[in-house]
Chains A and B, each alone.
Chain A
């Protein structure tokens, strides 16, 4: 058989270990968020106030429990990127209007910005949005924000590696692995 150009010693002696090490340390070489296209918003879409509001809103959808929630996972930044990159101007305006509707409702009914409310009070308002009873917000606003939050959270580093189990290099396949041993999902 023909020997390829690859050093035989490298191939025979712990090749997988040497090579695997480079592959399974993705965190070290993660692209710095926000600097490259697709790693964060390229433009400021939200005001600081809107970011604070979104942080609070997304945190109610995927809250901190025994693992970090949407706020720590940076879901607001993810949403800002999606809106910056994929939303047409009309849809972008609509999204911002819906955010404003939430805050206005909070200020009118609770005399405080949404972000400053207690979690239970925030949940009441989110429930209203879910039931499509929040004045001034689109009927699909709750589903939109839920979808964005879920996707943003479970594709974040925290969602991928803390909330779920990330196996960049599983090394083997077991088609009858007991779920009870982990109690959560492996990242797809």
Chain B
């Protein structure tokens, strides 16, 4: 049972209920802290609020097309689909601004659970090199922590998240504590063999994914059923989400109060005590403002939203936002180089085989460019990896009608491999989020203004992603190879990071090595905002590990009365 909502005093407040907020709440609650978790979105309860789960098109409204006119309400969320758009914020709930020449795509959920309900579930540990790149090439703020600092926390979260994957022993892609891998299909298996034979620096493996291949009865979770409907919510709890994992664990302690529909406007700062004393909250339905108080505050609202809250926490002592004493807050925004992809067809090959089941996962080709132990011959720094899959295309219906058409529609199209690069973006102080001076949202909160664009390093990397994908597909014997090498707008990979970067020097960073604001050590920023660089692998696993680490540090400080 959640605690009664009338209380406004807590040991800890967690702002946000996505992957990081859920982890913060779980760790804090399990260590005995009375914790309030706030989310601006409405309630979604595990199992009971997954209305489209397990339904075929014939059982869904409009045969699972968008209801008339509805898609226009979600134009800012290109990943929202007819079967799950209620999980996203509609356009009028999340306005933001940017210069027309510098578009940014801010994809934002609108419910408790946040992006953990709809995420891609790919989980990769960062490498040693990832934590050292800023120092090595001079871009961004040097990380004050290294791989060894985070490694125990990777293990800590992996055992609970449940990650299936194949151990490879690679320095550039450290193994997690894995459940058995999902299978590659026959074309991916062949592709893997070709890469091993002809591209000695490249490995293809099944995606490492937060989908169970073994039941976890102690959590009430059942292995993946290969429906590929994760984004609708999964009553098996087969994929990691706040609802399936961290929220029930936090609730089981009796220490959690969850309040949805609670929009955090700002944090109240006491300059004399150097601490945040309250969290200003607006009720999303009534507009009523209230203040909640706690000894420690975890900012897990998502990279951009956490930056917005800090920037909007203006005080006499810090008129430009909480922690913005040296004009560093909001800077070094990164995402991943995204949008460069290639397709290759295998006409007349493997035709006797089809896929049984719908695997919610694909293959992964780890970074092979600019690895520390190899000589760099590239015209860009840092690296990229590929995600992709082989699948059979839809039948080729052709002209005509009648029994022949019907028969043709029983024959699957050829196999096709698609592969999509994810590249590291250089941290650049010029890439920043600010608050608009004129535009406000429906609560009167200043809107985020994006000033982010990718540079030459990203463009050169994108060109290499395209070239190498074509070369690999050609090597595998694909034909009709098509590549698209236009970089997506920043934000489109939904891997936004930075803005409240971690560092030792308060003049150059916003949070310290324990994710605490330099100016207010009782505030921990543990979502993507604290990331001083972005690696090229999907960030969520690292964010969860870092959150667990910070939360346990916070518990230590609270127990020692040191915060």
Give me the interface of A with B, judged by CB distance under 8 Å: 1-8, 10-12, 15-16, 19-20, 23-24, 26, 30-31, 36-39, 60-63, 65, 69, 78, 81, 85-86, 123, 126, 130, 146, 150-152, 154-157, 159-161, 163, 166-180, 182-188
Known: A168-B54, A185-B412. 16 other contacts (CB 8 A): A5-B220, A6-B248, A11-B221, A37-B67, A60-B401, A62-B406, A85-B68, A150-B397, A155-B63, A155-B64, A160-B58, A163-B410, A169-B225, A174-B356, A175-B353, A182-B354
Q: In this complex, which of B187, B358, B397 has the most chain A Cβ atoms within 10 angstroms of its Cβ?
A: B358
Taking a contact as CB atoms under 8 Å apart, the answer to whether B249 and A2 are in contact is yes
Taking a contact as CB atoms under 8 Å apart, the answer to whether A187 and B67 are in contact is no
The digit string for B156-177, where 1 denotes a CB below 8 A from any CB of A, is 0001100000000000000000
Taking a contact as CB atoms under 8 Å apart, the answer to whether B249 and A4 are in contact is yes
Q: List 6 A-B contacts (CB under 8 A).
A: A1-B159, A38-B67, A61-B402, A155-B64, A168-B227, A169-B225
Taking a contact as CB atoms under 8 Å apart, the answer to whether A26 and B54 are in contact is yes
Taking a contact as CB atoms under 8 Å apart, the answer to whether A15 and B401 are in contact is no
Distance of A23 Cα from B136 Cα, bound (Å): 52
Taking a contact as CB atoms under 8 Å apart, the answer to whether B412 and A6 are in contact is no
Contact of A170 among B58, B60, B351, B358 (CB under 8 A): B358
Taking a contact as CB atoms under 8 Å apart, the answer to whether B355 and A185 are in contact is no
Taking a contact as CB atoms under 8 Å apart, the answer to whether A4 and B219 are in contact is yes
Closest partner residue, chain B, to A25 (CB atom): B54
Taking a contact as CB atoms under 8 Å apart, the answer to whether A184 and B62 are in contact is no
Residues 44-81 of B at the A interface (beta carbon under 8 Å): 53-64, 67-68
Taking a contact as CB atoms under 8 Å apart, the answer to whether A23 and B235 are in contact is yes
Taking a contact as CB atoms under 8 Å apart, the answer to whether B68 and A23 are in contact is no
A166 contacts which chain B residues (CB < 8 A)? 56
Distance of A62 Cα from B251 Cα, bound (Å): 53
Distance of A76 Cα from B410 Cα, bound (Å): 22
Distance from A176 Cβ to chain B, minimum over Cβ atoms (Å):
4
Contact of A26 among B59, B186, B226 (CB under 8 A): B59
Q: A62-B406, A178-B352 are in contact. Are A15 and B58 (CB under 8 A)?
A: no
A172 contacts which chain B residues (CB < 8 A)? 226, 356-357
Taking a contact as CB atoms under 8 Å apart, the answer to whether A174 and B401 are in contact is no
Contact of B356 among A65, A160, A173, A183 (CB under 8 A): A173
B68 contacts which chain A residues (CB < 8 A)? 85-86
Taking a contact as CB atoms under 8 Å apart, the answer to whether A157 and B58 are in contact is yes
Closest partner residue, chain B, to A15 (CB atom): B222
Judged by a CB distance under 8 angstroms, whether B409 is at the interface is: yes
Taking a contact as CB atoms under 8 Å apart, the answer to whether B63 and A175 are in contact is no
Taking a contact as CB atoms under 8 Å apart, the answer to whether A126 and B401 are in contact is yes
Judged by a CB distance under 8 angstroms, whether B535 is at the interface is: no
Q: A61-B401, A130-B401, A170-B357 are in contact. Are A179 and B56 (CB under 8 A)?
A: no
Give me the interface of B with A, judged by CB distance under 8 Å: 30, 53-64, 67-68, 159-160, 182-189, 215, 217-223, 225-227, 235-236, 248-249, 251-253, 351-359, 395, 397, 399-403, 405-407, 409-410, 412
Distance of A178 Cα from B218 Cα, bound (Å): 37
Q: In this complex, which of B56, B189, B227 has the most chain A Cβ atoms within 10 angstroms of its Cβ?
A: B56
Taking a contact as CB atoms under 8 Å apart, the answer to whether A24 and B226 are in contact is no
Closest partner residue, chain B, to A69 (CB atom): B406
Taking a contact as CB atoms under 8 Å apart, the answer to whether A173 and B182 are in contact is yes
* A-B interface, 6 closest residue pairs, ranked by CB to CB distance from nearest: A175-B185, A38-B61, A6-B220, A170-B357, A177-B356, A173-B357
A160 contacts which chain B residues (CB < 8 A)? 56-58
Closest partner residue, chain A, to B47 (CB atom): A19
Distance of A169 Cα from B358 Cα, bound (Å): 9
B58 contacts which chain A residues (CB < 8 A)? 30, 155-157, 159-161
Taking a contact as CB atoms under 8 Å apart, the answer to whether B395 and A185 are in contact is yes
Taking a contact as CB atoms under 8 Å apart, the answer to whether A37 and B61 are in contact is yes
Contact of A20 among B225, B354, B356, B410 (CB under 8 A): B225
A16 contacts which chain B residues (CB < 8 A)? 215, 222-223, 225, 236
Taking a contact as CB atoms under 8 Å apart, the answer to whether A175 and B220 are in contact is no
Q: A166-B56, A169-B54 are in contact. Are A1 and B353 (CB under 8 A)?
A: no
Distance of A178 Cα from B219 Cα, bound (Å): 36
Taking a contact as CB atoms under 8 Å apart, the answer to whether B402 and A63 are in contact is yes
A5 contacts which chain B residues (CB < 8 A)? 220, 248, 251-252
Taking a contact as CB atoms under 8 Å apart, the answer to whether B409 and A150 are in contact is yes
Distance from A14 Cβ to chain B, minimum over Cβ atoms (Å):
10
Distance from B160 Cβ to chain A, minimum over Cβ atoms (Å):
7
